[in-house]
Structure formats: C-alpha cells, structure tokens
Structure 1
C-alpha cells in the first residue's frame, strides 16, 4: 500500500460516524478511500444508509490534518500497517464482519500456514492458572503455534512469557497506540517479543489505554485465532467477553475447569456448563479437537475406511458429510430420528472415531 492510499484510509477512519463496518461498505462501493472523499454528494446519497449528516462529515477537511499527523508517526517509527484487503492481513480476522480496516503493528510477524490460538484469563492468576497456562504452551510447543494474548497482568503476560521461553511467535493485542506500553511494568518484555512476534492494535498513537478500549480490542483477540482458551476467570470479566465474541465468530472456545468454590474458576466453569466452551484439561485435548495432530488425522481417515456403520449410523454420517457441521436437534429432525436415539447414535459414532462433538451441541464428521 502506498503512502497516498494509507493517507486517505487514515482520514476515513477519522470521519465522524464512520466505523469499520461502514468504511468497508464505502470502500466496496467506491474501490478506494480517495474516491470516497472526491465523490459528489449525489453519488454518496445513492448508497443505502448514507444521509446528509454523514455526507457533511465526509467533507470535513480537519480529518486530513489528523491523517497527516498519524502518517508521519507511522513512517518515522517504521510501523507495519495491515489493510484488510491485503494478503498480509491475518486471514481469520479478515472474515470477521467488524474487523478493523487497518491494523498497526511493530515487530516481526508470519501468519502463513500458522496455527494461531488466543489465551486469555484473569489478571489475578493463581498458581493453578499459571501452571495450566505454562504446561499447555510447553506441550504445544512442538507444533509451533502462534500465541496471542492481551499483554495484561496475570494470565496474559504468563502466556507471552511461556511462548518466549519456547521460542514461539507471540503477539500482544493492545488497547492503545504503539507509542506507549501498558502496563509500564511489562516494558521489559517488549524487545524480546518484537524479535518473534510483537504488538498489534487498531488504535492510533493518540489513543490512551481507556477502559472502553479493552473491550474493543477483545474482538481482535477473538477473531485473529483459530481458538480462544480461557484459563481462570471470575464470574464476570473481560475474558468472558472475549469468549462470547469468539463464539459469535463461530470459533472454538475452550476453558480449564476449576473447583466450584474457587473465585477465579467460576467464569470457566460457567462457560463449560452453558456449553459456550469445551472443557480443556491438557494440550492433547486441544490438539485432538482442532485436528492439529496430522498423524492422528491420517489414522482417523484409515479407520473410517474400514469401520462398519449400521443403516441408521450411515444415514447420519451421510447427512453430516453434506452439512459439514450441525446441531444435534437439527440432525434428529432432518434424519427423522427421535432425539434420544440420535444421541445414542452419535455417541456410538464418536466411539468409532467417525464424528466428534463441538461446543453448543454441534457435531461434525472427522
């Protein structure tokens, strides 16, 4: 992306009432940001949802001064900019309807053919939570995943530290501009993280770590990865917001269980109980559920070639093959089986290694 394109995209971000969703709509219609600003009001009015107030905002010249200042910061600090239509933009995040049109990053990134997981949790991590986090990352290290978190106190920084210990790429999604580090006590980790990974945000250098920004940044944590893992959370907290966002994006969510009496296990236990997350006890669970173990996949394929299914199981298998994944109740309805029978059939098929359960009573063919 050249400087002129970036300048107009930055200006578009500063137009009042234009968020990422509307910006994408305008860009899809006009082709580029410069054309949006140069279009006549009559042409803008022809677009559904564009009224006189927004047209007036698009003619506000002050956005260009702001864009010029931010472009100078980006250039002088060698900031990487990822545009949502470009090849270097994180692939999974690209498919989220509210993903930012621009991501600003510092460090070294490689998203090609990578396994990416997000790890979130309480800022008041207990020894149990810290151990779960470290062991999970240690056991996953041979698969070379990218570890994403929010660079906050507690589970976040433990995840980043564990990733660095195993020379894994790790990315901190921050809730402010790249001109500062928050919390300041974590500044000592910056240079090492930037060697293999680094920091990413959709906030400008003028943005401070305000409370509302952390909720907004959580959509990137949830959307950039294949799965979100919650390691310790109270009954309410930012980790649960991230988990809900991941569910909304149709991503896998996992949670480590804890004692019912433990304050920082209540959130995880509730996610599992409400089927918003799958129970996670080890890296092996995650590897299996995400189909990361290629040797296991090959074995599963071989098993399916020789496994015997009865007439009813075959009907369910054929249906799931065509649908990719489906709710148990819908499978029962479409295959004309009572729910109690479909439950038994799916269990038998799971034991035979031909289907697997997913969060929210979903099933899919292995």
Structure 2
C-alpha cells in the first residue's frame, strides 16, 4: 500500500497507534488475520488477547482522545509530510528486516530517500578538531559517491556529517528522538529546515513527544537499521555511538571505525570496536569498496521505478575542482604520476577524486593509469 492508499479513517487509526506502545510483531500477527488497521479498534478485549495483544489494550485504544488525533492531523499541512506504516510500500526495506522495526514513521521531506542506499555516520557530541574534520571529509566523500548520509541530528559528529553534505547540495536523513513537530537540539532548527529541503527528517515518535533520554537508543536502532553500514568517527568507551554500533552488528550490518591516538579518550570507543572485529578504515574509499558490492546486489532486487530513482542518486555534479582535474586526463591512457604532475595536487587528494570520477563513469581505470570516457 502507498501513502495515497491510506484512507482518512485508516490515517486516524495509525495516528492513534502512534500514541500506544505496541510491537510490530504483534501487528504483523494482526494483519495475518485482518486487512485494515481500523479493525483493531473494533475488536473486543478477548479477541485482542486471542491475537496475542496484552491485557488492557482495548481500554488504552478507547481512551485516545479525538481532539489529540485532530491535533496530529493538523501537522500534515503540506505535501512533504508523511505517515508511513510498516505495511506501506514507502517503508524502508532494510528497516523492515530488523526484529524491533518501528510500527510507523513520521517523515518530513522527500520520503523517496528512505529507499536509497544509506550510510550512517555517528560519533561524539564533543569531537576533537580531527574528529570534526573526519566527519566532514568522510560524509562529503560518501555523499558524493552516491550514498545518502544518515545520522541523528545531534550536536557534534552528527551535525557535522549532515552539514557537510548539505553544503554540497546532497541529500541526508536525520532520525529524531522527538516528535517531528519540534527540533532537538534547538540550535539545529535551521539545519533541520535544510534537511527537509534536501533530504528527510524521520521519527517513530508521536507528534508532541518531547526529549526523553530513553528515546535516543530507540532512535539509534533506526539509524543503523536503515543503513547498509555504520561509521563511528569518534566515541568514548561508554557512549550512544557504541550503542548504535552494537545495534548495527546485531542487525547484521557492516560497522566501520576510524582509529585515533592512544592518548585521545574519544578514540578508545573506536579502538574497542576494532578489537571486536569491526573494520578499521582510514579512508572513505575503503567503505565505498566494502559496501559497493552489497549495494549493487540490493539494486538487483529493486523495482524498475526504484532502480531509476536509485541510479539518479548515484550521480553527482562536477564542481570546479573535478572539472579541472578531468582536463588533465587524456582519452588515451594517462599515468597516475602524470595526472599528479599536471594537476599539482597531492597524491591522496588525486586518488580520492579519481575514485569518485570512476564511480560516476567519467573515467575508467586501465592498466597503467586512467582514460577519460568519450561521453
């Protein structure tokens, strides 16, 4: 079912369920016997318990005030605001696979990005200058390679990761730990608006839900659950970022960690992950290489319309630096040393830029160097 297929009555029913603590597993069992969520509100206490729902659910459902639902409905005042139940075709496929998938998502922005390949970037709220630079560089490189950057709109690494791709006009997804009718932290209000314009804000929490400490681990499972892999930039040994990494591993997703100085307390969380077998990465290209095959495999299972959407996301506009570099590459084989000499750039910068040009079919790697494509 699509968003447009949700009737007004069903919309009200799902909004009512957003205020009730009920697992997606119980709802899956319900939908094996019934086709409309509205039926849930028509069943007796005995019938609900027969389907495996906890005692007292009927009373809880009946107590939801119509005025509260009207208040929720008022939030949907533009076409870029969506309610996506787990049975909806717009619901992220990867997220649906996890054991604790949210029963519904509120989305403000372009919901299509939820179906694109995502990479989560998380880390300290108070990163070192190097941690900040790493968050920006990795996010920008991965975004330019076609991945949608997903994070939690928190201060520190989250914010730097979001802003890095926004500055390039690239999409990003922010998963909130509150209802989408508010922004936390408040200082990211302008960023949240940018995310709506270039990506999407996402939350499982009912409208009106404020800041609660217990909501952030729940938010983290969505960040990792929607993503092909999670990158931890900097993290203390006991931190929310490590919770996200643990959840990603439990969900069967790839986890990457950037190493740091043994004297940096914010590197210890990453080092602890690496000791557990998480992949140590020094460049964003390593993540692209690791996840590229998985992303390609997943694309084979998309519908034709999703494939078209997905292929569009893997293109990026050449800025002046890339346009200048490509001039130094001939249609005949051009050696790496020649490209470096002509461009005057450092080898690590050139290597990074060449990879992105190759990924986006502007050049091709051949024996002895690179060749520019004719179209």
Query: What is the TM-score normalised by the length of structure 2?
Result: 0.72
Once the two structures are superposed, the pairs formed by residues 354-365 of structure 1 within 5 Å of their partners are none
Report Cα offsets for 1:79-133 as digits up to 9, x if no partner: 2111211121112112122111211111224337632101000001111111212
Q: Tell me by how many angstroms 1:170 deviates.
A: 0.5
Partner of 1:90: 92
Q: Tell me by how many angstroms 1:138 deviates.
A: 3.1
Partner of 1:154: 156
Note if contact 1:169-1:197 (Cα within 8 Å) is conserved in structure 2: yes
Aligned partner (choices 16, 39, 49) of residue 11 of structure 1: 16
Task: For residue 166 of structure 1, give the secondary structure of its aligned residue in structure 2.
Answer: coil
Report Cα offsets for 1:157-193 as digits up to 9, x if no partner: 0001111122221011111111211111112223322
Note if contact 1:129-1:231 (Cα within 8 Å) is conserved in structure 2: yes
Q: Tell me by how many angstroms 1:203 deviates.
A: 1.2
Q: Tell me by how many angstroms 1:290 deviates.
A: 1.0
Task: For residue 110 of structure 1, give the secondary structure of its aligned residue in structure 2.
Answer: helix
Give distance in 2, aligned partners of 1:65 and 1:216. 27
- Structure 2 vs 1, CA of residues 165 and 72 (structure 1 numbering), >3 Å: closer, same or farther? closer
Partner of 2:289: 288
Output the aligned Cα RMSD.
2.4
Give distance in 2, aligned partners of 1:216 and 1:180. 18
Once the two structures are superposed, the pairs formed by residues 187-206 of structure 1 within 5 Å of their partners are 187-206=189-208
Once the two structures are superposed, the pairs formed by residues 130-149 of structure 1 within 5 Å of their partners are 130-149=132-151
Give distance in 2, aligned partners of 1:179 and 1:54. 26
Answer with 87-96 or 151-160: which moved more.
87-96
Once the two structures are superposed, the pairs formed by residues 231-250 of structure 1 within 5 Å of their partners are 231-250=233-252
Partner of 2:56: 53
Once the two structures are superposed, the pairs formed by residues 247-326 of structure 1 within 5 Å of their partners are 247-275=249-277, 277-291=278-292
Aligned partner (choices 22, 30, 37) of residue 33 of structure 1: 37
Aligned partner (choices 117, 121, 124) of residue 122 of structure 1: 124
Partner of 1:72: 74
Note if contact 1:14-1:63 (Cα within 8 Å) is conserved in structure 2: no
Partner of 1:43: 47
Q: Tell me by how many angstroms 1:42 deviates.
A: 4.2
Report Cα offsets for 1:270-304 as digits up to 9, x if no partner: 001012x2111111211121125999xxxxxxxxx
Task: For residue 211 of structure 1, give the secondary structure of its aligned residue in structure 2.
Answer: coil
Give distance in 1, aligned partners of 2:14 and 2:111. 22
Q: Tell me by how many angstroms 1:68 deviates.
A: 3.5
Task: For residue 31 of structure 1, give the secondary structure of its aligned residue in structure 2.
Answer: coil
Partner of 1:344: none
Once the two structures are superposed, the pairs formed by residues 159-178 of structure 1 within 5 Å of their partners are 159-178=161-180
Q: Tell me by how many angstroms 1:242 deviates.
A: 0.6
Note if contact 1:90-1:111 (Cα within 8 Å) is conserved in structure 2: no
Aligned partner (choices 7, 20, 25) of residue 21 of structure 1: 25
Note if contact 2:233-2:258 (Cα within 8 Å) is conserved in structure 1: yes
Query: What is the TM-score normalised by the length of structure 1?
Result: 0.73
Question: Across the two proteins, how many residue pairs are aligned to each other?
Answer: 291
Report Cα offsets for 1:213-250 as digits up to 9, x if no partner: 11111111110111111000001100001111111110
Aligned partner (choices 203, 206, 226) of residue 224 of structure 1: 226
Answer with 281-290 or 101-110: which moved more.
101-110
Report Cα offsets for 1:302-343 as digits up to 9, x if no partner: xxxxxxxxxxxxxxxxxxxxxxxxxxxxxxxxxxxxxxxxxx
